[in-house]
Amino acid sequence: MQTYAHIHAGRLYEKIVEQIEERIVSGKLKIGEQLPAERELAVQFGVSRTAVREAVKTLRQKGLVEIAPGRGTFIADQTSSGVRHSLGLMMKITAEDGYQNLVEVREILEPEIAARAASHATAEHLASMRQAITTMDAALDDADAYIEADLDFHLALAHATQNDLVPTLLDPIVHLLRENRKRIFNRTGAPQRGQVYHKRILRAIEQRDPETARKQMRAHLAQVRRDSNRQ
């Protein structure tokens, strides 16, 4: 079992990130290995759960961990992190074109992901989707919490395809669009509109209806594009 040194000074969450990063780089933490629960990490580091929560958020943004709702936090496959880094560089080089290209890739991939999820989702996948939607319902006035749950929902769909390459491809795309998600969140009624489609997509998947899942995801992404273009 991994244990960590207590932290006594500096920005606490950054120190936590440093220790966990070092163990990932050294191979002490393996791909797929689960981190201790938030409460246990707080005890081991000698910090508050708030500091642990911020550290995990930072690790996730770096692509070093993945959060599986209801199951825990796991060390991510660095393939996904590498893809994200490469796409991030591409976006910087191509500026607005890079952003538009990512949006279009998402519009190509996600309707088919939703359709396949309708045929392959397990009870565990469905539980993850429901938990993400419940969290979003409770976070309609909290951008950070809503966006994290939104990412969880779309990545749960990717995992529900039961094709390991799909979440590896989708993860960097949805994370690189995080800042745009924040802008959209501030559009009046945008989170509520998003939830309407999330629930329709979930219902189609629960009913094992690939065509409706595909149709509702297309409608959802069209709504996201409209909200993004609003001034």
- Domains of the chain in start order, with CATH, are 12-75 (1.10.10.10), 78-229 (1.20.120.530)
Mean pLDDT of 110-117: 98
Question: Picking from 25-34, 85-94, 191-200, which range would have the lowest pLDDT averaged per residue?
Answer: 85-94
**H helices of the chain, where?**
12-26, 38-45, 49-61, 78-94, 96-120, 123-137, 143-160, 165-176, 178-185, 190-206, 210-229
Identify which of 30, 109, 21, 8 has the alpha carbon closest to the alpha carbon of residue 63.
21
Provide the mean pLDDT of the chain: 85
Q: What are the tens digits of pLDDT across the range 138-169?
A: 999 999 899 989 999 999 999 999 998 898 88
Mean pLDDT of 201-208: 98
Which residues contact residue 129 at a Cβ distance below 8 angstroms, ignoring those fewer than 6 apart? 121, 153, 156, 157, 160, 202, 205
Q: What are the tens digits of pLDDT across the range 173-185?
A: 887 777 778 888 8
Query: Quick one: what percent of the chain has pLDDT higher than 70?
Result: 86
Q: Mean pLDDT highest for which of 24-28, 87-91, 216-220?
A: 216-220
Q: What kind and span of H or E run contains 72?
A: strand 72-75
Bridge partner list, 73: 67
What pLDDT is recorded for position 93?
Answer: 39
What pLDDT is recorded for position 44?
Answer: 93
Q: How confident is the model at residue 127 (pLDDT cuts 50, 70, 90)?
A: very high
Mean pLDDT of 20-24: 85
Q: How confident is the model at residue 103 (pLDDT cuts 50, 70, 90)?
A: confident
Tell me the C-alpha distance between 15 and 170, whole Å.
29
Q: How many residues does the chain have?
A: 231
